Amino acid sequence: MTETTDGLEAWIEHTSAFDRVQSIARSVSEPKPVSYIAEEAHVAENTARNHLERLVELNVLLKSKLGGTALYSPDPLHVRLQALRDLLDEHDRDGLIELKADLQVEIEELSEEYGVDSPNALRKLAAESESAAETSEIRKAASDWELLLYRLSIVEDAIRDYEQFDIHPAPKGEDSRELGY
58: exposed, middle or buried (Cβ count in 10 Å: 0-12, 13-18, 19+): exposed
pLDDT of residue 9: 87
Cβ-Cβ contacts under 8 Å for 89 (sequence gap 6 or more): 167
pLDDT single digits (tens) 40-90 = 999 999 999 999 999 999 999 999 999 999 999 999 999 999 999 999 999
Q: Is the pLDDT at 177 greater than 70, yes or no?
A: no
Does 176 have pLDDT greater than 60?
no
Which position has the higher pLDDT, 140 or 2? 140
**CA dist., res. 125 & res. 116, Å (int):** 9
Pairing of strands 32-33, 61-66: unpaired
